[in-house]
Structures are given as structure tokens and as C-alpha cells.
Structure 1
Amino acid sequence: MPRNDSLEMGELTDTAFYILLSVVEPKHGYLIMQSIESMTNQRLTVGPASMYTTIKKLLAAGLIELFDDDDDKRKTYAATAKGMELLRKNVEWRKDMVRHAETIFQLKGVIER
């Protein structure tokens, strides 16, 4: 059975989520990696190969675009309107996931509110 690409299904992997979140304001590759590490308190590190593979997919899906910043030495990326909408939907979905888990944990006595 062929594996569907998560972007085609409107889902973001953690790496794609953080890259897209990072380029809400235009950033170049190295700054994207630094932003992700900073946001996650170094719990998530995205290496160059993984980052550029994901960026290529995000570009192809129209979720990010090259941002013209007159710097020929490095590429800068920015989220598109389509990317921002998908990011918002994913944030809501992830909030729902946490609420579902908290409800089950509470019912099973795993955590207290």
C-alpha cells in the first residue's frame, strides 16, 4: 500500500511544522535551524539534509516561497498565505490532541488538573 505524503493530506510532520513556524518571518536556512533549537529549548535539532529536504517539499506544496532579500549568497524563505492557513489548522489539531490525552489521563487517574 503506497504511503501518502503527509503534506498532501494537510498534515505537518514535526520538522515541517517547526520550519513553517520559523518562516512566519523570512529566514535563511541557518537561522531556521537556530530558531527551531531556540523554540524547543534544544529538544529538537534539524540537520541541514533533513531541513532542505523538508523545505523542498514545502516549496513544492506552495506553503513557503523564496523571499527576495537581495542576498545572493543564501536563500531566504517565507510562509505563504496557504502555509499560514495550514499551520493554523495544525495548531488547532495539536491542541485537540492534547485535550484528548488530558481527558483520558484524567479519567484514568494518570494526571490531575
Structure 2
Amino acid sequence: MRPKLLPLSETMHLIMLALRKPLHGYAIMQVVSQMSDGQVNIAAGTLYGALDNLKKHNYIELISDPGERKKVYQVTALGKEILELENKRLNKFISLYESGDGSNE
């Protein structure tokens, strides 16, 4: 059975890649923008909706203390497995581009 949320949306993918290191919400938005060369800018509502969904599926976890003002998240072991699955899937696409396989020529 395929894990939930796969394939990851571009936004979720970038959020999870950013969370390989612990970050709070605003820092996640900055890192995602940097990683995408400014092509992906996540609004706060979109970010927190995605974080809630990723947390619900145990792909990320909240690691800050409940009393802290800023919530800090990081990817879980399961999240790392999901990123590896996505890496393999996307590399397959890249190999198709590079080899020309799958064309109708």
C-alpha cells in the first residue's frame, strides 16, 4: 500500500526538505524561498495547513517545548523514508528525460 500524501506536492516536498534541520514557521518560509530560487513563496496559511497535514501523517514532528512562542519542527524517521521514496521517484523521471525513453518517436 502506498503511503499517504504520495506523491508529495511541490510545497510539501520543499517543506520536508527544509525540515531536515529543525526550523520554526517563518524560517521554513525563508528556506523554501531560497531553495526554490524565489519561485515558491509559501503564505502562512498554506504553510501551517501543510505542517498540520505532515504532522498528522507523522512525517514531521513538533520538537519545541509547549510553552515556547515559536513552534520548531523537524522531519521524522518516517519522513526521511518518504523523502527517499520521492527521491527515487523523481530520479526515475530525470533518467527518462536524459535517456529519451518513453517518447513516441
**Pairwise same-fold verdict (TM > 0.5):** yes
Deviation at 1:85, TM superposition (A): 0.6
Deviation at 1:108, TM superposition (A): 7.8
TM-score by length of 1: 0.80
Structure 2 CA distance for aligned equivalents of residues 47 and 11 of structure 1: 21
Q: Number of matched residues? A: 103
Structure 2 CA distance for aligned equivalents of residues 23 and 16 of structure 1: 10
Match for residue 18 of structure 2? Answer: 22
Structure 1 CA distance for aligned equivalents of residues 9 and 73 of structure 2: 18
Q: Identity percentage over the alignment?
A: 25
Q: Which moved more, 1:26-35 or 1:90-99?
A: 90-99
What residue ranges of structure 1 are gaps of 5+ in the alignment? Answer: 1-5
Q: Which has the larger radius of gyration?
A: 1
How do residues 21-60 of structure 1 correspond to structure 2 at under 5 angstroms? 21-60=17-56
Structure 1 CA distance for aligned equivalents of residues 11 and 3 of structure 2: 12
Structure 2 CA distance for aligned equivalents of residues 7 and 58 of structure 1: 12
Deviation at 1:70, TM superposition (A): 7.7
Q: Structure 1: which 4+ aligned runs deviate by more than 2 Å?
A: 68-71, 101-105
Match for residue 88 of structure 1? Answer: 84
**CA pair 8-108 structure 1, distance change in 2 beyond 3 A:** closer
What residue ranges of structure 2 are gaps of 5+ in the alignment? Answer: none
Deviation at 1:104, TM superposition (A): 2.8
Structure 1 CA distance for aligned equivalents of residues 85 and 45 of structure 2: 27
Structure 1 CA distance for aligned equivalents of residues 35 and 5 of structure 2: 26
